[in-house]
Chain A
Amino acid sequence: MNVHRPFTRQQRTTIIHGMVAFVLMLVVLQLWLLTATMNAYLGGDESVIWPAAGASLACLALNAGLLRYLYHIDRARQ
């Protein structure tokens, strides 16, 4: 049976390297957001809590989108 994928494995490996680099940056950003928000919350500063939660949610959405794209390019088509 002939299996067709949009990219060869070598191309997919290159793509996944780029994705992992991007996801890592976003996760580090989220870590910074979490520590900064926790510091502000413990210091009684409430103004940053919801904007930071929104930014973190946006980062998660980007990461989830990239993961979905990875599943998409990984899926074999008959």
Chain B
Amino acid sequence: MTDDPRSRLSDDPRQPLDVRIDSPAREGLTGTTPASLYTRLKEDDQITIAPNWRPMDEQPSWRTDFPIDWPQDHYVERRDFMKFMVLTSLAFTVGQFWIAAQNWWRRRRGRAEITRIASLDNLPVGGIVTFAFPGPHDDCVLVRPQENVLVAYSQKCTHLSCAVRPRVEAGVIHCPCHEGYFDLAMGRPISGPPRRPLPIVHLEVRGKQIFATGIEERTT
């Protein structure tokens, strides 16, 4: 039986090749590849490419059993991630306006009323008095480190709002939760996690009575 090259190609419908070198189908080609080989069988968007870029016949069986259009999967993944990021962006913007609303509410409350908090007679040098100012849940602490010196601060640590405790003999205010320390004279953070100073309570002494006249939050 003679081996006719045309008979070997006749089973493949994509390659109806006339093997003669001067056939019209091969006109313009320099090699032996049939022109029909270059025609697209599928659109780019329909070609499945596995994540390891190997052909499908080299993939594990589970991947061929559950074929996934990986480029489409990657595309949808990134598209959904972008939607999630835009939602996150919306959440951050809502947070900004929530701060603005809180600020508006804080300003609307106005200045705190002047409140009597202690008497000099009941506060010896080195003594400490706790009081609530300006609201009933805003705990503050008044300290008399020297005869003629009075300081008062909010008792909430500026790190995570734990109650701070003055240590008059050491000249510091200590936060026991995370070992934060503030300077007793100015309320500024000197070590530990707090970064902002304690809000300072403005005081006024009238006769022997000590009054809180306002509270000031500070960034530095």
Interface residues of A (CB under 8 A from B): 8-10, 12-13, 16-17, 19-20, 23-24, 26-27, 30-31, 33-34, 37-46, 49-50, 52-53, 56-57, 59-60, 63-64, 66-67, 70, 74
Contact = CB atoms under 8 A, between A and B. Distances in A.
B219 A39 contact: yes
Contacts of A26: 89
A67 B88 contact: no
Given A42-B196, A56-B92, A56-B93, A13 B75 contact: yes
B82 A16 contact: yes
Interface in B79-107: 79, 81-83, 85-86, 88-90, 92-93, 95-97, 99-100, 102-103, 107
A10 B97 contact: no
B86 A64 contact: yes
A74 B219 CA distance: 48
A16 B78 contact: yes
Contacts of A31: 92
A23 B71 contact: no
Contact of A41 (B79, B102, B158): B102
Given A16-B79, A23-B89, A44-B217, A50 B71 contact: no
B87 to A, nearest CB: 9
21 contacts: A9-B72, A10-B71, A13-B78, A16-B78, A16-B79, A19-B82, A23-B82, A23-B86, A30-B89, A30-B93, A39-B219, A40-B219, A41-B99, A43-B218, A44-B216, A44-B217, A53-B93, A53-B97, A56-B92, A57-B93, A70-B82
B100 A50 contact: yes
Q: How large is the interface on B (under 10, 10 to 19, 20 to 34, 35 or more residues)?
A: 35 or more
Given A16-B82, A44-B199, A59-B93, 15 more contacts: A8-B44, A9-B45, A13-B74, A20-B85, A37-B96, A40-B219, A42-B217, A44-B216, A44-B217, A49-B103, A52-B96, A56-B96, A57-B93, A57-B96, A64-B86
Interface of B: 44-45, 71-72, 74-75, 78-79, 81-83, 85-86, 88-90, 92-93, 95-97, 99-100, 102-103, 107, 158, 195-196, 199, 216-220
